[in-house]
Amino acid sequence: MLELGRAGERGAARREVPVLRDGEPVGRLRSTDFWREASVAVVEDREWVLGRRKGGVLAGRWATEPEDAARFTARQVSAWRGTWRVEVDGTAVDVVPASWWKGTYRFTAGERAVAESGSTGGWSPRPTLTADDDLPLDVQVLLLWLVLVLQRRTYGTAVAVAAGGAAAAGGS
């Protein structure tokens, strides 16, 4: 199981979050632009540049590739159902909510479940990902980043709705 650690711990820089497998660091995530959902993921000796592109597509490329390259893409299929389609080096993975209440997702390739997200729990829950062993570590880290982005979006929507409701209740 992969999980996000706390910023600055386990060999990560002050503004980096370690990606842990069974408590041991296997990568790092660094947010470079919160509003553009841009991040850098470092897995082993490879650096990924991740972020949102035109049309709301989330994309990732190796840092050594041109800016228009995309080895990883995630497109929302249905806003109503909350489903996404991820493509990583030609392999399609469908993402569906496993639990709206918990903010978890199930990842399937064809009819086969390849991963499922979870949470560490507690006051500051952090996303986790349990994946098949045959899923490459890079792909697992990218899916964990996607879960983080989707959870931030969900949390941001909930805060906006609550603030809007509070403003409406307090108005005239």
- Domain range enclosing 62: 2-170
pLDDT at 161: 43
Based on the structure, what is the number of domains in the chain?
1
Contact status, residue 18 vs residue 28, Cβ threshold 8 Å: yes
How many alpha carbons lie under 13 Å from residue 67 in its C-beta half-sphere? Answer: 3
pLDDT at 156: 58
Contact status, residue 109 vs residue 93, Cβ threshold 8 Å: yes
Which residues have a Cβ under 8 Å from the Cβ of 118 and sit 6 or more positions away?
A: 1, 102, 104, 127, 128, 129, 130
Q: What share of the chain has pLDDT > 90, as a percent?
A: 66
Torsion of CA 158, 30, 21, 86, to 10 degrees: 60
Output the CA–CA distances (angstroms, integers) from residue 148 to 69, 126, 171, in the order listed.
22, 8, 34
- Position 155 confidence tier, pLDDT thresholds 50, 70, 90: low
Torsion of CA 87, 12, 147, 160, to 10 degrees: -130
How far apart, in whole angstroms, are the C-alpha atoms of residue 127 and residue 117? 7
Q: What share of the chain has pLDDT > 70, as a percent?
A: 90
Question: Mean pLDDT throughout 88-100?
Answer: 91
- Largest Cα separation within the chain, whole Å, is 59
- Indicate whether 154 pLDDT > 90: no
pLDDT at 158: 45
pLDDT at 163: 44
Q: Which residue has the higher pLDDT, 101 or 104?
A: 104
Contact status, residue 137 vs residue 20, Cβ threshold 8 Å: no
| Structure tokens given for 41 | 């993921």
